[in-house]
Structure 1
């Protein structure tokens, strides 16, 4: 984020400009001056300013012209207008165009100092907010969702198709599969990326408070309602609201939510006034909503309203080819956060991770790698260093063979691919990542190894 600390002063009257610049400098501000609107615009093009103080009436480009240009190019810069004509019409026009405030001649410097201090605070808050949003957009890029498997690539494909739409989305998946990460990636890469993203866990808030949290309330509508309060839907105006664990919502609130989705308006608890909404709704659940509909626990009409575009996140046990990739990613992340040298996983430890079913999915994987890095001495993680539920049991010498042949049959090609994948990883680990050495250990040509690496998604 840029460290802005300057004021631009534009006034065509030299004595006023010089006197005001001197006073502001003595007050602790850095000031640059311009004698015309054109000169001021040129300085704005070269240098970022927190505040612009400009006379309203200038030869050439006027104060309103300066204001419009600033609002177009620099949303964190506040503009204070100086006018000798304190007409209501002038003030209204300036405020409509986005002026922070205006002050009339003759200038009261103490009043101006108060205005400048307030404008400086607002400018820095807006700049910080913009910076944080840029950081969030980087944090929630699609490439932050890790995986090369076909299952996760299908998720990426669907996300790319819907990111620039405003359709309602329902994200389905077990706990820990990354539903909120997907919701944020869709929002921060979409049409509403510069507007709020508001998340609420419907299962974490008591039913008697959830209605107020979602839709707001007016003073006196219930015991403890000491003042009016906007709900999450209002807070998300122009942006997106993420309703996590939507399957836990009580039936009476489901009806009200359905009405909000249909009418695009909300009523606060205790009020009959309708408030128009412009919000994208993204919901998520680890429950089987279709089964809940059949049992009468979830409204069928609401289910279809929410399920306009479904995204199904596969559990980690159904995309085992991504386990090694995720393990190395979280291993590096944990090492960086703990200022540890980069650690590695032994072949036996990696096999244990890939054989585990991961009931907590990606979230569990991240926690396991953090715990393992914290408790392991040295730079190589062995099977015994993993939590007992993952690495503590004795390794089955036939574990690489995968599922046994049963009456239901087995996908032999998939089993062979898994065996190849394990052996190639071991050879690459033992060969220090050098493909020629790994190929020699496997008694195959280097070109054959390269082709297998590409085919198995191990690049």
Structure 2
């Protein structure tokens, strides 16, 4: 009868916990959420003292971004926080496991700690919040006789898992609403399609605003897939030539004659099959902007003729002897190192000087990781619209996963990955795009092997390397970060992004 009575008490406590946690889901600010959450778990477990902290997941150190204490004097809080890196809290965070002890003062794992000896710390229950730890909840001593029970541990772990979801939501919302460093430049530029408010993008838009205000050549550099074409169009749209054409020519894989014909045009009879006048891209861009992508691939003889356009504004159609005047602005782009090409004699040095009057370098995704959530949400909304799907949102787990992985294909790869994920999620009737839709199992249902993409191969290698390192270091994230030459914060993000969990011994 007594066992049945205790079961009823435990069930009531669990119901009380979930009911109150659901009410906490309506909180829109971190501090009120943590204050009420801590009061709840302290009451449910009959703890005398409680401490809760949430780390800034972008930070490099162990200083909590938010913390809350209950039933503690200031000195108690300082003692608890002093033990974060070496005591009970440190053990919970490093191991990712809940720590329960009837008396920290008598527990050989913690009895030698000065903070434990000084405060004569008794019963302790300390549970990490999320995995990798986003924070920790620490409960000490009980108002009722005896240590924390197994039921207390289970309740604390459920509490921590639910709180992690609430905190993730508020942190992601804070990231999205942080001051947009690009705002001063957006106020005087039409740049709606340029997503992100990072310092790297603020620098780009500052340079764009200068380029748009004058009529000189611009060279845009940066890795493939970073948005060079889009930035070239923003420069054009904000210049005095905005009402005139914006014409693109990709110079990659163009033989000399074809490149010359595409760029300058050709008169009738200039080559076999030329039975009429053919206008080139310079003609098409008259009064506007000519954007030459992959400029480093332009054949050397054509480079000399392009240089003439930049110097004298004159050019000749293929097969013609009468010069024409070019009223165009040249914007060029490349993902190659043109100075190395100059050294190899595959690119003209004088042309490089003429093109890079105003150079703009586009950052890779690795240099603007804080922009990933905004970019991801933009591409998700666009994919839903283009695929005529109901509007889907990205889950916090999906956003964390995207921030954790590398994107060698930059924005283009991110957009393609999200487009495919939206299709998968919609076909499954999912309410949101989750991590499994972005990174599905590499092995098909029938078990037949298939070729892996560069991104999938890289991701698989990163995951295996991280798993191996964590196992070798007994999941000591600080040591793993040091071995991998990464910040501990980035290791935490990778663990979350790959969905890794420590196997309980």
* 2:423 counterpart of 1:374: yes
* 2:215 counterpart of 1:166: yes
Query: Which of residues 383, 406, 411 in structure 2 aligns to 1:334?
Result: 383
Shift of 1:421: 9.2
Aligned residue number for residue 72 of structure 2: none
**Structural RMSD (CA):** 3.0
* 2:471 counterpart of 1:385: no
Shift of 1:217: 1.1
Task: Please give the alpha-carbon distance, in whole angstroms, between the structure 1 residues aligned to 2:479 and 2:238.
Answer: 39
Shift of 1:224: 1.3
Listed one character per residue, the Cα deviations across residues 61-116 of structure 1 (whole Å, up to 9, x for unaligned) are: xxxxxxxxxxxxxxxxxxxxxxxxxxxxxxxxxxxxxxxxxxxxxxxxxxxxxxxx
Query: Tell me, what secondary structure is at the counterpart of 1:143?
Result: coil
Distance 1:350 1:402, change over 3 A: farther
What does 1:231-380 align with in structure 2 at a 5 Å threshold?
A: 231-376=280-425, 377=428, 378-380=430-432
Cα pair 1:266 1:275 within 8 Å, conserved: yes
Task: Please give the alpha-carbon distance, in whole angstroms, between the structure 1 residues aligned to 2:364 and 2:378.
Answer: 18
Listed one character per residue, the Cα deviations across residues 173-196 of structure 1 (whole Å, up to 9, x for unaligned) are: 111111111111110111100111
Aligned residue number for residue 199 of structure 2: 150
Distance 1:233 1:404, change over 3 A: same
Distance 1:237 1:155, change over 3 A: same
Shift of 1:323: 1.1
Cα pair 2:404 2:493 within 8 Å, conserved: no
Distance 1:178 1:399, change over 3 A: farther
Runs (5+) with no aligned partner, structure 1: 1-139, 426-459
Aligned residue number for residue 134 of structure 1: none
Aligned residue number for residue 75 of structure 1: none
Query: Which of residues 183, 190, 210 in structure 1 aligns to 2:259?
Result: 210
Aligned residue number for residue 279 of structure 2: 230
TM normalised by structure 2 equals 0.51
Cα pair 2:266 2:319 within 8 Å, conserved: yes
Query: Which of residues 472, 475, 482 in structure 2 aligns to 1:405?
Result: 482
Runs (5+) with no aligned partner, structure 2: 1-188, 443-455, 498-505
What does 1:43-192 align with in structure 2 at a 5 Å threshold?
A: 141-192=190-241
Aligned residue number for residue 17 of structure 1: none
Task: Please give the alpha-carbon distance, in whole angstroms, between the structure 2 residues aligned to 1:402 and 1:338.
Answer: 45
Name the structure, 1 or 2, with higher relative contact order (CA <8 Å, separation 6+).
2
Aligned residue number for residue 96 of structure 1: none
Task: Please give the alpha-carbon distance, in whole angstroms, between the structure 1 residues aligned to 2:480 and 2:323.
Answer: 59
Task: Please give the alpha-carbon distance, in whole angstroms, between the structure 1 residues aligned to 2:384 and 2:327.
Answer: 43
Aligned residue number for residue 47 of structure 2: none
Cα pair 1:341 1:379 within 8 Å, conserved: no
Task: Please give the alpha-carbon distance, in whole angstroms, between the structure 2 residues aligned to 1:302 and 1:402.
Answer: 50
Distance 1:142 1:316, change over 3 A: same
Task: Please give the alpha-carbon distance, in whole angstroms, between the structure 2 residues aligned to 1:403 and 1:191.
Answer: 54
Distance 1:356 1:195, change over 3 A: same
Cα pair 2:288 2:327 within 8 Å, conserved: yes
Shift of 1:152: 1.0
Query: Tell me, what secondary structure is at the counterpart of 2:372?
Result: helix
TM normalised by structure 1 equals 0.56
Task: Please give the alpha-carbon distance, in whole angstroms, between the structure 1 residues aligned to 2:254 and 2:343.
Answer: 25
What does 1:446-457 align with in structure 2 at a 5 Å threshold?
A: none
Task: Please give the alpha-carbon distance, in whole angstroms, between the structure 2 residues aligned to 1:391 and 1:338.
Answer: 27
Task: Please give the alpha-carbon distance, in whole angstroms, between the structure 2 residues aligned to 1:199 and 1:403.
Answer: 47
**Equivalent residues, number:** 281
Shift of 1:171: 0.5
Distance 1:244 1:237, change over 3 A: same
Shift of 1:400: 8.7
Distance 1:256 1:403, change over 3 A: farther
Query: Tell me, what secondary structure is at the counterpart of 2:482?
Result: coil
Query: Tell me, what secondary structure is at the counterpart of 1:282?
Result: strand
Shift of 1:299: 0.6
Cα pair 1:215 1:234 within 8 Å, conserved: yes
